[in-house]
Amino acid sequence: MGKIKGFMEFERAIPEDRPPLKRIKDWKEFHKEMPEDALREQGARCMDCGTPYCHTGIMLGGMTSGCPIHNLIPEWNDHVYRGFWREAFERLMKTNNFPEFTGRVCPAPCEGSCVLGIIEPPVTIKSIECSIIEYAFEQGWVKPRKVTKRTQKRVAVVGSGPAGLACADQLNMAGHTVTVFERDDRIGGLLMYGIPNMKLDKEGVVQRRIDLMKQEGIRFVVNTEVGKNYSAEKLIEEFDAVVLCTGATRPRDLDVEGRNSKGVHFAMDYLRASTKAVLSGNAPKINAKDKAVVVIGGGDTGTDCVATAIRQGCKSIVQLEIMPEPPLERQQDNPWPEWPKTLMVDYGQEEAAAIQGEDPRRYSIMTKKLLGDGNGRLTGVEICRVEWVKKEERSIPKPVSGTEEIITADMILLAMGFLGPEERLLQQLKVEQGEHSYIKAEYNDFRTSMVKVFAAGDARRGQSLIVWAINEGRAAARECDRYLMGSTNLP
C-alpha cells in the first residue's frame, strides 16, 4: 500500500501543535491541521508490508499491539496517498463508529506495531485517521443514516461512554429501538467529562456525533442513574435486552496519613468539575488557581490534570510516579510489535516545562503521608524514592532510606487508576461479579449471569483504551442482536 519506496523518500511528520505558552491561555484543541499534500506524503510511507501488524489488535506482554477494532489502515493510507478521500472515509467507517474520537485521544497502539517502526519512525496512522473523518465532515459526507426497518425490539444501554455509544449505534442500525441512559447532565461519559476540552472538543466534536445519533433515532436520557432514580426492576420490565456499559469509575485511593485533608481530590472529580466550568462559563468548583499542585499518578489522566491545572493558573505543578522512568528506546525485553515502553513527553508535560523550565514528572517516588496545618487543610506531601526489587517473580517498590523530602502542596490530585465499576446497579440486577467487582461475562459472548443482560467495556474488562471500548460495544451489540433475533448480520 502507499507509494513504492515512499517510506524511503519521506520522513515521519505529525501535525504541529500550537505553541505551549499560547495554548495554555485557552481551552481550545491544541493540534493544528496538516495540509493535504503533507498528509498524502505520510500515507505514502505505508509499506505494502505483506503482513501488516497495525490492525491485529492482540495482547502481547500484557499490552495492546495493533488496533483492537481492526481498522483497515493500509487501505485508507493508500487512498489518502492517491487523493481518494471518499474511499478512505468509507473504508474507515467500516470498522470504526467514531474515528473523530480515536483520532484524537487513542494512544495509537497501531503505530507501536507498525512494521516500518522496526527500522524507522512508524507511519503517522492516528493523524491520518483524524484528517480523514474531519475532511468527510467538511465535505458533508457524514450524514444521518436511515434505518429502513424497525424490529419492534427495545434495548437499553446503560452508560454513554465509547462502549455504550458504539453499542447503541450498532443496535440502532440493526433496527432495534435503543435508549441510552446517562446519569450525568450530558451524553458522552468520559468522552464528555473525563477528557479535557483541549484534547477533545465537546461542542464541536462530541456533541456533533451525539446530534447525528439522535437524528438516526437513538433516544438519550440524561440525569438518570439506573439503580437510583430509575429502578433496575423497571429497566428489566420495559426492555427486551439490557447492555451494561457503566465503565470502571471507582478510583484507586491513597491510603496514607492525612488523606482526609482539605485540598485532596480524585482526578476525575477535578476534571469533571473543570469541563463543566468550561462549558458553562462559570468558575470551577475545584480550582487550582494560585495553588501549588501535586498530581499523584503518571498516566494519561495525570497528564490531563497537569494541563488543566496550568490553564486554571496554578502556582506550581509536580507530577509523581511510583514507577521507574522509562528508557528512551525499546529494550530487549520489549521487542516489536509490543507497545513500546519508552519515555514520551505528552502535551501537559510540554506545557509545564515551558513554564517551569523542566518536566514536572518525578519517577520512582512513593507518597508517605500528607501534611496539614492543624486545621485539616493540606500544606504538603512527604515523599521518598523507591527502588524496584524482585520478589517471587514480581517487582515491588522498596523505600530508600534517607531520601525523604517534603513538597509544598495546596492541592493534591489522585490519578492512580480505577478499581472497577460501581456496584449499586450490579447488585440490584444480581449479575455475577468477579475480581474488583468487574462484571462476569465472556469476551465475544458478553452475556452476564442474568437473562437478557449483557456487559461491555471497562465494566467488564477493566480500565482500558477507547478502542477496546468501541471493540466491546460493537461486539456486545452483535451478540445482543443475535439473542433478540436468533441470528445477526452485525460485524
Residue 435 counted as domain residue: yes
Binned at pLDDT 50, 70 and 90, residue 46 comes out as: very high
Judged against a pLDDT cut of 70, whether residue 205 lies above it is answered with: yes
My answer on whether 399 and 259 are in the same domain is yes
β pairing state of 292-296 and 316-320: parallel
Mean of pLDDT over the chain: 96
Taking only Cα atoms into account, the Rg of the chain, rounded to an integer number of angstroms, comes to 23
Percent of the chain predicted with pLDDT > 70: 100
Residue 410: pLDDT above 80? yes
- In terms of domains, do 39 and 116 share one? yes
Nearest Cα neighbor of 318 from 344, 292, 286 is 292
Regarding beta strands 405-408 and 63-65, do their DSSP bridges make them parallel or antiparallel, or are they unpaired? unpaired
145 occurs within a structural domain: no
Residues 205 and 177 in one domain: yes
CATH number at residue 442: 3.50.50.60
Q: Which three cell numbers stand for residue 318?
A: 509536580
What pLDDT sits at residue 16? 94
Pairing of strands 378-391, 365-372: antiparallel
In a domain, 269, yes or no: yes
Q: How far is residue 129's CA from residue 88's CA, in Å, rounded to a whole number?
A: 9
Q: Cα separation of 155 and 218, whole Å? A: 10
Residues 272 and 194: beta-carbon distance below 8 Å: yes
The H or E element that residue 219 is part of is strand 219-221
199 and 29 Cβ atoms separated by less than 8 Å: yes
pLDDT tens profile 321-376: 999 999 999 999 999 999 999 999 999 999 999 999 999 999 999 999 999 999 99
Which pLDDT score, from 0 to 100, does residue 443 have?
Answer: 96
How much is the pLDDT for 3? Answer: 86
Q: Regarding predicted confidence, which is higher, 75 or 50? A: 75
Examine the domain organization and report whether 304 and 341 are in the same domain. Answer: yes
491 within domain boundaries: no
Between CA 268 and CA 274 the distance in angstroms is 10
Same domain, 264 and 410: yes
DSSP 16: P
Residues 6+ apart with CB under 8 A from 303: 319, 346, 347, 348, 349
Of 111, 139, 167, the domain-final residue: 139
Provide the domain limits for residue 358.
253-416
Whether residue 183 lies inside any domain: the answer is yes
Where residue 435 falls among pLDDT bands split at 50, 70, 90? confident
Half-sphere exposure at residue 399, Cβ-oriented, CA atoms within 13 angstroms? 11
- Between the CA atoms of 114, 118, 120 and 123, what dihedral angle is there, to the nearest 10 degrees? 0
According to the model, what pLDDT value does residue 1 have?
Answer: 62
Same domain assignment for residues 282 and 380? yes
Is 117 contained in some domain?
yes
Based on the fold, state whether residues 268 and 335 are members of the same structural domain: yes
Model confidence pLDDT, tens digit, residues 111-146: 999 999 999 999 999 999 999 999 999 999 999 999
Residue 128's domain is classified under what CATH number? 1.10.1060.10
CA 243 from chain center: how many Å? 20
Backbone angles phi, psi at 213, to 5 degrees: -65, -35
**76-99: per-residue pLDDT in tens?**
999 999 999 999 999 999 999 999
**Per the structure block, which three cell numbers stand in for 438?**
468487574
**Domain boundary at 85, 106, 139, which?**
139
If asked whether residues 100 and 12 sit together in one domain, one would say yes
- Same structural domain, 408 and 467: no
With H, G, I as helix, E, B as strand and everything else as coil, classify residue 244.
strand
Say if 148 falls within a structural domain: no
Task: Assess whether 289 and 367 both reside in one domain.
Answer: yes
Question: For the residues 233-245, what does the mean pLDDT come to?
Answer: 97
- Per the structure, the count of domains in the chain is 3
Residue type, 60: L
HSE toward the beta carbon, residue 364, CA cutoff 13 A:
15
pLDDT of residue 436: 86
- Domain final residue, candidates 378, 395, 416: 416
165 in the same domain as 126: no
Confidence class of residue 4 from pLDDT cuts 50, 70 and 90?
A: confident
In a domain, residue 388? The reply is yes
185-204 pLDDT, tens digit per residue, is 999 999 999 999 999 999 99
Residues 115 and 22 in one domain: yes
Helix, strand or coil, per DSSP, at residue 214 = helix
